């Protein structure tokens, strides 16, 4: 369903009315397209504290193309901030330039992991999270602000490429940790998943379909998995992508074994997208409504992941991307079952990630969508729908492609240094952290 308020605020009467009444004034977001794959403008590189990073080569490869006008992106290297005095340098660096960042531009703050042996450094680096999230809520103009914790510049290349591009339009206020390691650059940067096989559950429509299409755009052979009842849609999508469909109830006890049998040559990317809602307040929720939602959204993810890892179906360098939700991170009335399942997904990711990487060479991450414009949200009553759209720093709902682009970044061959992360795709929702 079209966001009529967003369209209205772009007109002269809309601008006048919203300014006078102090109403939200969302800016249409700049998203990726083949015709305009990069932000227009230059990258401004600033430093606070004493940094040991050489960012110039990485930013030359990942940032917006160039130009002399307003900066499309500002990257603040704050990895050398180790005490409260250095925090003043954060203010000094960004205070003069924040107003000049182009509409739909990017601000990325680079920080360091917290040092458990230095409480001054830990305090100063933790302070960057509050700074980043606060700036994200006030900067406006469709701009995003994120914090990346890293130990080396090269390891963060895929993350910076994503955050400094139109693909991250609905990702803001996030703190992303990048571990050590060398990136694995793809042979073809335009088709980084070429030669790789991806399976997307719940892929017949909505967010799952967008994920399948985006992974196929990036070169993957995509297996479109959905329940038999959605078989026609799944087959139509698979035919359009030149791939295959797999009709399967993901909650079946043998789902993992059947997936492994269908992919005898192995799997490189596993996207757990299948999910359902059966909303009702806990006092009115029967046991079967609770159990069905928790089983689809969490139980099936656990069983299938365990089965595929045990069978060796995920190849070395593989990626698992699960779908959590801000309902699981912040809670939502009427969704105790859904919130339970989605919070469990976040717990699964954080616990499994180090073991999966060490034992199988596979990373495990999650995306946590906020209010995304789908057929499901279009059915929400008008008042609640409008509240969902406006209650984030970008004052609008996201699109399925926003979740898909974030998933594609986590699935990228060069994203092996990103592991155990739960990344919210919510326009920095005002609910939760």
Pair of tokens at residue 348: 């699964």
**At 9, phi and psi to the nearest 5?**
-70, -10
Rounded distance, CA 88 to CA 117, Å? 23
Q: Is 370 exposed, middle or buried (0-12, 13-18, 19+ CB in 10 A)?
A: buried
Cα 379 off chain centre by: 24
Rounded distance, CA 6 to CA 28, Å? 7
Helical H runs in 22-118?
Answer: 56-62, 84-94
Q: Is 311 exposed, middle or buried (0-12, 13-18, 19+ CB in 10 A)?
A: middle
Region label for 379, one of left (φ > 0), alpha (ψ between -120 and 50) or beta (otherwise): alpha
374 within 8 A of 206, measured Cβ to Cβ: yes
Q: What is the DSSP string of 104-149?
A: T-EEEEEE----TT-HHHHHHHHHHHHHHHHHHHH--TT-EEEEEE
Residues in contact with 426: Cβ distance below 8 Å, sequence separation at least 6, in sequence order: 170, 326, 368, 369, 370, 371, 392, 398
Pair of tokens at residue 344: 């469990």
Catalytic residues: 338
């Amino acid at each position: 369903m079209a966001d009529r308020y967003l369209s209205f605020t772009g007109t002269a009467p809309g601008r006048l009315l919203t300014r006078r009444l102090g109403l939200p004034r969302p800016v249409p977001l700049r998203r990726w397209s083949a015709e305009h794959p990069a932000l227009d403008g230059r990258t401004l590189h600033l430093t606070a504290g004493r940094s040991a990073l050489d960012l110039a080569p990485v930013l030359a490869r990942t940032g917006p193309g160039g130009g002399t006008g307003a900066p499309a992106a500002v990257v603040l290297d704050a990895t050398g901030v180790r005490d409260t005095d250095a925090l003043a340098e954060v203010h000094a660096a960004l205070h003069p330039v924040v107003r000049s960042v182009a509409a739909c531009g990017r601000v990325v703050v680079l920080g360091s992991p917290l040092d458990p042996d230095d409480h001054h450094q830990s305090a100063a680096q933790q302070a960057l999270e509050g700074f980043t999230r606060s700036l994200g809520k006030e900067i406006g103009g469709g701009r995003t602000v994120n914090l990346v914790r890293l130990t080396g510049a090269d390891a963060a290349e895929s993350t910076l490429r994503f955050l400094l591009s139109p693909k991250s339009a609905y990702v803001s206020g996030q703190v992303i940790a990048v571990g050590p390691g060398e990136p694995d650059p793809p042979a073809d940067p335009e088709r980084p998943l070429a030669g790789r096989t991806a399976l997307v559950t719940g892929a017949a429509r909505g967010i799952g379909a967008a994920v399948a299409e985006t992974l196929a755009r990036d070169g993957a052979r995509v297996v479109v998995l959905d329940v038999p009842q959605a078989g026609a849609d799944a087959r139509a999508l698979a035919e359009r992508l030149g791939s295959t469909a797999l009709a399967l109830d993901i909650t079946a006890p043998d789902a993992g074994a059947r997936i492994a049998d269908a992919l005898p040559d192995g799997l490189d990317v596993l996207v757990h997208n299948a999910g359902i809602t059966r909303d009702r307040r806990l006092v009115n929720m029967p046991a079967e409504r609770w159990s069905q939602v928790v089983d689809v959204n969490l139980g099936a993810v656990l069983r299938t992941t365990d089965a595929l890892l045990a069978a060796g179906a995920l190849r070395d360098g593989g990626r698992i991307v699960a779908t959590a939700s801000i309902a699981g991170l912040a809670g939502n009335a009427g969704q105790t079952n859904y919130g339970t399942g989605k919070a469990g997904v976040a717990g699964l990711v954080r616990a499994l990630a180090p073991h999966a990487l060490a034992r199988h060479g596979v990373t495990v991450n999650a995306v946590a969508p906020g209010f995304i414009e789908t057929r499901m949200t279009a059915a929400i009553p008008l008042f609640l729908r409008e509240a969902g759209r406006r209650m984030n720093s970008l004052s609008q709902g996201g699109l399925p492609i926003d979740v898909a682009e974030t998933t594609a970044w986590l699935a990228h061959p060069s994203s092996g240094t990103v592991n155990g992360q739960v990344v919210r795709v919510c326009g920095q929702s005002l609910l939760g952290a």
